[in-house]
Copies of this chain bind each other. A is one copy, B any other.
Amino acid sequence: MRYSKQREAILRVVNASNVHPTAEMVYREVKKEIPNISLGTVYRNLNALADASQIKRISIPKDVDHFDHRHVEHYHFCCTKCHQLYDLPGSTIHQLIHRLEQEESVRITDYEVLFYGICQKCQKGKEENYGIKRK
């Protein structure tokens, strides 16, 4: 994979973000720096970076894909009320992975744990919809 300033900027934006950006969000952000970048380029690079395991793709029912850096192990939590995507800490999953690899004879190289529920804010009644439409 050859260097390009577009890809460098895209990776930087995903790494710096704490909101699990979508392709569109990354596009809007990178545009500030490279105004004539195209959305196609953003998609191409997000795919390339995900294939190279430099970022992680999060697929969510009824929503477009989100992308995430891979700095720390964590789970994802999707609030079914405000449709916001949060991180949940933890890496308890490794024991489970080990057990499954033994018992099921598969080799596990990656995982995605997605919880659904009601976030703290929405439980308190402060429900907000951050413009994320329900598919």
Contacts and interface: CB of A to CB of B under 8 A. Distances in A.
Contacts of A57: 61-62
Interface string A82-101: 00001011101100110110
B120 A106 contact: yes
Count of this chain's copies in the oligomeric assembly: 2
A19 interface: no
Q: Interface size class for chain A?
A: 35 or more
A112 B114 contact: yes
Nearest to A79: B106
Contact of A106 (B77, B92, B106): B77
A96 B106 contact: no
A121 to B, nearest CB: 10
27 contacts: A50-B61, A57-B61, A58-B61, A59-B59, A59-B60, A77-B104, A77-B106, A90-B96, A90-B100, A92-B99, A100-B115, A104-B120, A105-B120, A106-B120, A106-B123, A107-B117, A109-B116, A109-B117, A109-B118, A110-B115, A111-B113, A111-B114, A111-B116, A112-B113, A113-B113, A113-B114, A114-B114
